């Protein structure tokens, strides 16, 4: 059974998201290479629209580069008026992201 209660980015596939809230959290993840647990800081968003479909999901950002790209939209929850199309490129240490920002659709 797939719960699909979080947004997953597939390399090369754009994902259009609308955020409703955010928080900085600390969570424990298992390192896929070493198999040991570690605490990481994460930028968590609540998502109410994914590719134009209403959803109730979360989107977790642990990439420093992606978090830095989204950071200017956090103050005053400026992201509420926009949709973010995020495309993940590459895998592992060479992963990069492109982010296109457009006014939210009514």
pLDDT tens per residue, range 23-77? 999 999 888 788 899 999 999 999 999 999 999 999 999 999 999 999 999 999 9
Q: Where are the domains of the chain?
A: 15-103
Q: How large is the average pLDDT for residues 95-104?
A: 96
Cα–Cα–Cα angle for 100, 13, 77, rounded to 5 degrees: 35
Which pLDDT score is estimated for 1?
Answer: 53
Please give the radius of gyration of the chain, using alpha carbons only, rounded to the nearest integer: 14
pLDDT tens per residue, range 2-29? 778 999 999 999 999 999 999 999 999 8
**Structural tokens at position 63:** 């990439």
Q: For residue 47, what is the enclosing H or E element?
A: strand 37-50
Helical residues (DSSP H) of 1-91, grouped into ranges? 64-70
Determine if the pTM surpasses 0.85. Answer: yes
């Amino acid at each position: 059974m797939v719960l699909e209660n979080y947004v997953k980015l597939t390399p090369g596939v754009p994902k259009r998201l609308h955020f409703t809230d955010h928080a900085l959290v600390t969570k424990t993840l298992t390192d896929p290479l070493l198999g040991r647990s570690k605490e990481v800081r994460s930028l968590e968003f609540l998502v109410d629209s994914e590719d134009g479909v209403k959803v109730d999901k979360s989107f977790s950002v642990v990439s420093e580069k992606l978090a830095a790209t989204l950071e200017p939209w956090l103050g005053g929850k400026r992201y509420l008026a926009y949709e973010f199309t995020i495309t993940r490129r590459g895998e592992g240490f060479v992963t990069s992201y492109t982010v296109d920002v457009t006014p939210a659709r009514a």
